[in-house]
Amino acid sequence: MCHLLSGSLSHNGTVFVIAPGKDNHPMGLSTWHGAALYCNYLSTINGRTPPYDETTFACTFQGYGFRLPTEAEWEYASRGGEHNPYYLYPWGSNSATSADANYDLNVGTAVDVGSYAANGYGLYDMAGNVEEWCNDWFDGSYYSSLPVTNPVGPGGGQYRVVRGGGYSNAAIFLRCADRDLNSPSGVIVTLGFRVVAFQ
């Protein structure tokens, strides 16, 4: 069920293990379910509340632990403190170049986190390197009716939200506002995740 196939991280049935030399490598090749289970594991080993029900995979936003970011949290973090809605990328509105992000096969594989400049919040690779799972189910019309404060996404769906663009994506997928989707059981080498702490 976990499906963490990355050469960076594996699960031996008891614990998650980072491969030698991959301590600073992004997580890729993970299903959404595998990412959620990792969040539960990380929460548990840190004495916090696991956010995901391991049968239904419903997320609780109560307690204190680690989970996948909501789509709104991800976009807010991607903008790096730049609330100008016209900023296209984490670095501003200048067109993407190979100095800004790992995309369009300019390197050909994922690279270590920190190989490109951080955004205004000090976050790396909010554009490029690997796409990232979000907690939300995908709904193409959700933004027309979402709550103004802390939206957590629709209650169900067929696909999960993916953000950020990966190393094989064109520059259009690197935009802070770009929305993509994938089946929660989908496994793609350029698709991984990052976690957020919640309380």
Q: How far apart are CA 119 and CA 145, in angstroms?
A: 29
State yes or no: pLDDT of 7 exceeds 60: no
Q: Please check whether residue 89 is in contact with residue 127, taking contact to mean a CB–CB distance below 8 angstroms.
A: yes
pLDDT in tens, 24-67: 889 888 999 999 999 999 999 999 999 999 999 999 998 899 99
pLDDT at 28: 84
Domain ranges for the chain, please list them: 24-198
Confidence of residue 92 (pLDDT cuts 50, 70, 90): confident
Q: Say which range, 45-54, 82-91, 162-171, 189-198, has the weakest mean pLDDT.
A: 82-91
Q: What is the largest CA-CA distance in the chain?
A: 46
Half-sphere exposure of 52 (CA within 13 A, CB side): 23
Q: How far apart are CA 59 and CA 135, in angstroms?
A: 8
Q: Around Cβ 29, how many Cβ atoms within 10 Å?
A: 20
Q: Please check whether residue 127 is in contact with residue 166, taking contact to mean a CB–CB distance below 8 angstroms.
A: no
Q: How far apart are CA 196 and CA 42, in angstroms?
A: 11
State yes or no: pLDDT of 98 exceeds 80: yes
Give me the sheet containing 160-163, strands edge to edge. 180-182, 160-163, 131-137, 191-192
- Token duo for residue 110: 């994922």
Find the DSSP H helices in 26-183. Answer: 32-45, 71-79
Q: Please check whether residue 180 is in contact with residue 161, taking contact to mean a CB–CB distance below 8 angstroms.
A: yes
Confidence of residue 9 (pLDDT cuts 50, 70, 90): low
Q: Say which range, 81-90, 93-102, 103-112, has the weakest mean pLDDT.
A: 81-90
Confidence of residue 85 (pLDDT cuts 50, 70, 90): low
Confidence of residue 1 (pLDDT cuts 50, 70, 90): very low
DSSP 30: B
Residue with tokens 């193409």: 140
pLDDT at 137: 97
Q: The CATH number of 24-198 is which of 3.90.1580.10, 3.40.50.300, 3.30.70.920, 1.10.287.610?
A: 3.90.1580.10
Q: How far apart are CA 161 and CA 151, in angstroms?
A: 14
State yes or no: pLDDT of 112 exceeds 80: yes
